[in-house]
Structure 1
Amino acid sequence: MNETLSAIISAAQATSVWEVIAFAFGIAYLLLAIRQNPLCWYAGFINTGILAWLFWDASLVMESALNVYYLLIAIYGWWAWRHGNSEATQDLPIQRWRLPQHLIAAVTIVGLTLISGSLLAANTEAAVPFLDSFTTWGAVITTWMVTRKVLENWLYWQLFNSCAIFLYWQAELYLIALQMAIYLGLAVVGWFKWKKDYEQQLN
C-alpha cells in the first residue's frame, strides 16, 4: 500500500500543468453532458486538443490519433445536439436504441478489438493488446452514441471505464486510473439523470 501511495505521489509531482488543464476540461465535459448542455462539446474539444498534443509529444501515436477523432466528433456532437433533430426548431432529444442496434455495436466493437488486438500482439510489445483495443474501440462507438443522445451510452461508459481503470492501474498509471474512476462515477450519475429526462420527454 505504501508503495502504491508513493507511486501516486510521484505521478502527481510529475504531472504537467497541461495535464491538469486537460483533466479539468474532461470533468467539465462530463458534468455539462449530464445536463445536456451543448457547451460540453467546447470543453471536450479543448480537453482532447490538449491530450492529442501531449500524447503526440510522448510518441503515443495511437492515443494521439484517438484524440484527433475526439476533436472531430466534438464538432459533430455540437452540431448534432443543436441541429440533428428532424424538427429543425428543437434540440436533439434523448433516444433509446433497440436490441438490434446494440447487437451491431457489440459485434463491431468485438470485431475491431480482435483485429487490432491481433495486430498489436503480433507486431508490437503491447502488454495487454486486446484489453487496450477493447477500451479504445468501445470509446469510439460510445462517443458516437453521445453525439446522438442515446441513453444507453452511460451504461457503455460504465463498462469501458471499469475496464480502463484496470488497464491503467496495471500499467501503474495511477492518476489516470483515478480519473477513470471519477468518470465511472459520473457515468452512473449521467444514466439516472438522462433516464429521468427521457421519461419526462414521454409525458
Structure 2
Amino acid sequence: MSPMEILAAGLSALGVWLTARRKLLCWPVSLLAALLYGVVFFDARLYADMALQAVFAAFLLYGWWHWARNGRRAEGAVSIVTPSRLHLSAAVLAGLLGGLAWGCVLATWTDDPVPFMDAALSSASIVAQFWMARRYRLCWAAWIVIDGLYVGLFCTRGLYLTALLYGLFVGLAWDGWRRWHSRLWR
C-alpha cells in the first residue's frame, strides 16, 4: 500500500462519515479523496474505477453545490428527498446499460483484468453518487451492496487497505441509512 492509498482511504472514510451526518464539508473532503484515488486506480490498472473518480469529482462538485443551495434545514443539516419510482427505474436501467457498454469498451481496448465487474460497479456507483447528490435515502442501500462487492474486487488487485476501507464503507453506509431514516420523520 502506498502513502497515496493511505491518504485517499482516510479522506474517503472521513467524507462518508460526514455525509452520513449530512455535513456540507463532506463534499470537499470527498473530492480530494476521489482525485487521489484516481491515481491509485490507474496504478492498479482498474481503468473504469480510475475514470469513475473523474465522474465522482464532477458529481461531488454538483452535490456540494446542490446541498449548499437546496434543502438546508435550520440546524444546518440537509433535508432528505424521496424520488419517484419512475426516476429510480430509469436510473437503475441507465446504470445497467452503462455498465454493459463500459465493460465492452474495457474488454476490447484495455488490459483491465476484470472489465465487466469493474465497469458494472463503476456504473452502479455513478447512480448511487447521483442519488447521494439528490439527497435520496436509497443511495445508502445501493452503497451497501456496491461497497460489499468492491471489497472482493480490490482484494483481487492487491489493494487490501482499500478493500478494508470499502468494508468500513459498508458499515458507514448502514449508519447513513439508519441516520437518514430517522430524519425522514422529523
TM-score, normalised to structure 2's length? Answer: 0.87
Deviations 1:20-53 (A, max 9, x none): 2211111110111011000001211221122234
Cα shift at 1:54: 4.0
Amino acid at match of 2:69: H
Q: Give the 5 Å matches for 1:112-191.
A: 112-191=98-177
Give the counterpart of 2:59 among 73, 76, 95: 73
Amino acid at match of 1:194: W
- Alignment partners' CA distance in 2, 1:133 and 1:103: 19
Structure 1 counterpart of 2:183: 197
CA gap 1:64/1:127 in 2 versus in 1, 3 angstroms: closer
Amino acid at match of 2:162: I
Higher Cα radius of gyration: 1
Amino acid at match of 1:157: W
Structure 2 counterpart of 1:102: 88
CA RMSD of aligned residues (A): 2.3
State whether residues 84 and 91 of structure 1, in contact with CA within 8 Å, keep that contact through their aligned partners in structure 2. no
Amino acid at match of 1:72: A
State whether residues 80 and 92 of structure 1, in contact with CA within 8 Å, keep that contact through their aligned partners in structure 2. no
Amino acid at match of 1:162: G
For structure 2, the residue ranges without an aligned partner over 5 or more in a row are: none
- Alignment partners' CA distance in 2, 1:30 and 1:74: 12
State whether residues 23 and 78 of structure 2, in contact with CA within 8 Å, keep that contact through their aligned partners in structure 1. no
Cα shift at 1:135: 0.5
CA gap 1:168/1:91 in 2 versus in 1, 3 angstroms: closer
Cα shift at 1:155: 0.4
For structure 1, the residue ranges without an aligned partner over 5 or more in a row are: 1-14
- Alignment partners' CA distance in 2, 1:108 and 1:150: 17
CA gap 1:145/1:185 in 2 versus in 1, 3 angstroms: same
Q: Which has the higher contact order (CA 8 A, sep 6+)?
A: 2
CA gap 1:99/1:111 in 2 versus in 1, 3 angstroms: same
Structure 1 counterpart of 2:79: 93
Structure 2 counterpart of 1:33: 19
Cα shift at 1:85: 4.1
Cα shift at 1:119: 2.5
